[in-house]
Amino acid sequence: MGIYIVQTVIARNFKSLSHTLKNIDLKKNKIGLVPTMGCLHDGHLELIKKSKKLNYFTIVTIFINPLQFNNKADLKSYPSKEKTDIILLKKNKVNLIFIPNIAEVYPKNYSTYLYESSFSKILCGKHRKNHFSGVTTIVLKLFLLIKPNFVFFGEKDFQQLVIISKIVKDLNLDLKIIKVPTVRDEYGLALSSRNNLLSKKNLLLARKLYQSLKKVEEYKTKDVKHIINKLKTSLKKLGITNIEYLEIRESINLKTPRYIDEKKETRVFVAVNINKVRLIDNYVIKKISPRKV
Ligand code: PAF
């Protein structure tokens, strides 16, 4: 019979992870996994709460994965606050925190990478070389090490969610991906660990991003090119000038339509740089004005 772990266990290497996992009674417990890079916020907590509410043995991983950073400076400046994260996770009664170290995850001469070759080439993938290969490689490693039944991801990183769902399907992985809506601050800014890097002034600017995306529904046109041009102009007027991409795509297959088809879920995807802080977001277009184009 497996032990019932009441306190949060912290595993810092594969051996102690495997030891803890062996003690879980898998007949009685489903494993819910929340992979993170730390610097936790309410968006992560939403994923954790969902897993806890479903009564899963909840595991949170904290690992800043160097493979998914295409830029050394970006990796170096990525925020980290392990101590506060641990306190927060204990408070939320997470069962197990896994904080592996880089030398064990990617030992010397490591040379195996996963590569999804369709959805990874667009949006963030087009601008961040090998980013999704890095994400899928670490995520698959965590899946193999932990063997979760359910894995929770936020819709803020919608492309990541689509790609991870695709690898789960293509590789017949025996787990279910649960997508959780984006958590926003009171002004609509999508919560992200990177928001910690914004100055007060730039935080105000970042908050305007979502406010602008929401305006697409007032544009009275279903012509995608037209909407994009209008949105870009509006962002630039507000002072968000460094737009990496702004695209409209259908959620199901990430294809770009010429016109918005309200029968299909369509999203605006955006990546901007605000004083070197890269922010992404996406917005589901609910209803465009009734005027036909
Ligand atoms: O979304 C993230 O924080 C990361 O991409 C993930 C899924 C933890 C992989 O490093």
Catalytic residue, candidates 44, 127, 131, 226: 44
Identify the bridge partners of residue 133 per DSSP, sorted by sequence position: none
Domain boundary assignment for the chain: 9-180, 193-285
Supply the pLDDT for residue 181.
98
3 pLDDT more than 90: no
Residue nearest (by alpha carbon) to ligand 1 atom 3: 36
| pLDDT band at 6; cut points 50, 70, 90 | low
Ligand 1 pocket test: pick from 44, 68, 193 the residue with the most ligand atoms within 8 Å of its Cβ. 68
pLDDT in tens, 245-290: 999 999 999 999 999 998 999 999 999 999 999 999 999 998 776 5
pLDDT in tens, 133-187: 999 999 999 999 999 999 999 999 999 999 999 999 999 999 999 999 999 999 9
Q: Which CATH architecture has domain 193-285?
A: 2-Layer Sandwich (3.30)
Q: Is 10 exposed, middle or buried (0-12, 13-18, 19+ CB in 10 A)?
A: middle
Distance 33 CA to ligand 1 centre (A): 12
9-180 fold: Rossmann fold (3.40.50)
Distance 220 CA to ligand 1 centre (A): 37
Supply the pLDDT for residue 293.
45
Domain pair 9-180 / 193-285, same fold = no
Distance CA 116, CA 121 (A): 9
> 141 in helix, strand or coil?
helix
Distance 86 CA to ligand 1 centre (A): 17
Supply the pLDDT for residue 102.
98
Q: pTM to 2 decimals?
A: 0.95
127: Cβ–Cβ under 8 A, 6 or more apart, which residues? 244, 245, 271
44 given a catalytic annotation: yes
Residue nearest (by alpha carbon) to ligand 1 atom 1: 36
Distance CA 187, CA 9 (A): 36
Q: Is 89 exposed, middle or buried (0-12, 13-18, 19+ CB in 10 A)?
A: buried
Distance 138 CA to ligand 1 centre (A): 8
The label of the residue with tokens 């010429």 reads: 258
Residue 125: name the closest of 285, 244, 290, 239 by CA: 244
Token pair of 24 as six digits: 């879980």
Q: Is 37 in the pocket of ligand 1 (CB under 6 A)?
A: yes
Q: Is 95 in the pocket of ligand 1 (CB under 6 A)?
A: no
| pLDDT band at 220; cut points 50, 70, 90 | confident
- The more confidently predicted of residues 293 and 117 is 117
pLDDT in tens, 78-125: 999 999 999 999 999 999 999 999 999 999 999 999 999 999 999 999
Bridge-based pairing of strands 277-285 and 266-274 is: antiparallel
55 pLDDT more than 70: yes
Q: Which atom of ligand 1 is nearest to the CA of 63?
A: 10
Ligand 1 pocket test: pick from 139, 159, 162, 178 the residue with the most ligand atoms within 8 Å of its Cβ. 139
Residue 155 CA from chain centroid, whole number:
7
